[in-house]
Amino acid sequence: MSKILRGSFELMKQLNVSAVPKIIKDNGSLSRAEIAKLTGLTPASVTNITKFLIEDNFLIESKIGESSGGRPPIILEFNPDARYVVGVGIGVGVIDVVITNLSASIIIKRSMRIEEERYDYDLVLKKLVNLINEVVKSSKIDKEKILGVGVALHGIVNAKTGISIHALYYGWKNRDIKEKLEEALDLTVYVDNDVRAMSLGESWFGATKDIANFVTLNISNGIGAGIIINNMPYYGVDFSAGEIGHIVVEADGDKCNCGNYGCLETVASNNNITRKAIKLIKQGVNSSLSKAIDDINDLSIEDICKAANDGDELSITILKEAARYIGIAITNLINILNPTAIVVVGEIFENTTHTIETLSEIVKNRGLKLSSENVRIIRSLLGRDAAVVGAATLVIQEIFSYKNIK
């Protein structure tokens, strides 16, 4: 069995090994002398650590470097395929499972719908475990090479204990997801809120690799934000930071699932955007959607975005209205946090320009001048895989940093 035990990072921690693959990963390729200089480790320590990592296939001796007078140095590169991780996205109505390498490149992906059975905790977890095992088997990757499982879960999550404090769609309250999955899978499991995990994925592998302070905004059937401050996720006292979907944007608005009225989710989530379009079309408002969809009740957010791109006025109006509300909420966040960037995730940003243009305009016109002028609003580079890549990153970051939640 490998020296690096499956699902455990204790040996790497004891040997102070993690600094070496991280510095090589960040710089592309380095000689042993360069590693010693950048890490502050002694040449003897670097020799021992790199020997260990080469034997375990984490590092590859790729080529001979240029000589500066003595023996030419051997250049080392990080091998992202030395080990693999499982990433799980548990969203509203759907669960995605992937296996990635240590650069978060997806090797295999499978998904399943969770609808009628969603309140049956044991059944949902059993189906998830079966799907993970199926994905591992289909990948033909030796389970000994899988370092752990990351779970990006909707709702409020205690990232330190792996407990789902509240997942509204599934009716979960104080469910120990980490313990349950570790027992079933015999792998180390890390659990966090889905949008916080997305932010982590963007920070490591996406649009904000060089940005220390940013907010990720995810618009789907729910709305959430992941906040990164000085390269670290911000959790809040009760791990509920980032619940931007429940910022009130209409004082006398519709009732939200949370019990309040006028929350951002009631006017800008995918479900509510679609519901509004269906209602207006049934009332007789002219739209190309009425002819494009056989049953208007089957209308999707993708249909609305496509129609908007094709010039459908109703679709454009509805999307711009949602974007205005999102812009108001985001402007408040920008005024409070003063981030470098806002990363937007979701179909309404991927498939049409109307939303991001309107959002940017609202921020520019309503935000404090200095912070709103300098903030960048950018699309996610991870797109619809943001949650599962973020989940995989929960494991990957442990290999390189061992940063504990404080």
Q: Please state, in angstroms and rounded to a whole number, the distance separating the CA atoms of residues 177 and 161.
A: 9
Segment 120-132, tens digit of pLDDT: 999 999 999 999 9
Coil vs helix vs strand at 172 = strand
Query: What CATH class is the domain 10-78?
Result: mainly alpha
- Torsion angle in degrees (nearest 10) through CA of 91, 151, 130, 102: 120
pLDDT at 372 over 70: yes
What is the CA 90 to chain-centroid distance, rounded?
11
- List all residues 6 or more positions away from 125 whose beta carbon is below 8 Å from its beta carbon: 177, 180, 181, 184
DSSP 8-state secondary structure symbol assigned to residue 383: G
Confidence category of residue 90, pLDDT binned at 50, 70, 90: very high
Q: Do 58 and 78 form a contact (C-beta atoms < 8 A)?
A: yes
- Whether 209-380 and 10-78 are alike in CATH topology: the answer is no
Provide the pLDDT for residue 371: 87
Q: Is residue 106 exposed (0-12), middle (13-18) or buried (19+ Cβ within 10 Å)?
A: middle
pLDDT in tens, 269-314: 999 999 999 999 999 999 999 988 889 999 999 999 999 999 999 9
The two structure tokens encoding residue 21: 């693959």
Q: Which residues contact 124 (CB under 8 A, 6 or more apart)?
A: 114, 117, 118, 170
Q: How far is CA 104 from the centre of its chain?
A: 11
**Domain covering 84-203+386-400, topology:** Nucleotidyltransferase; domain 5 (3.30.420)
Q: Residue length, the chain?
A: 406
pLDDT per residue as tens digits for the range 171-225: 999 999 999 999 999 999 999 999 999 999 999 999 999 999 999 999 999 999 9
pLDDT digits 0-9 by tens, 26-77: 888 899 999 999 988 899 989 988 998 899 899 999 888 776 666 788 999 9
Q: Is the pLDDT of residue 262 over 90?
A: yes
Q: What residue spans define the domains of the chain?
A: 10-78, 84-203+386-400, 209-380
| Tens-digit pLDDT profile for residues 98-152 | 999 999 999 999 999 998 999 999 999 999 999 999 999 999 999 999 999 999 9
| pTM value > 0.85 | yes
Has residue 401 got a pLDDT over 70?
A: no
Confidence of residue 2 (pLDDT cuts 50, 70, 90): very low
The CATH number of the domain covering residues in 209-380? 3.30.420.40
Cα atoms in the Cβ-side hemisphere of radius 13 Å centred on 110? 16
Mean pLDDT across 345-374: 91
What is the DSSP code (8-state) at residue 217? E
Task: Say which residue, 22 or 80, is predicted with more confidence.
Answer: 80
Q: Is 204 helix (H, G, I), strand (E, B) or coil?
A: helix
Residue 233 pairs with which residues in a beta bridge? 228
Give CA–CA dist 211/343, Å, rounded: 11
Q: Which residue has the tokens 């548990």?
A: 90
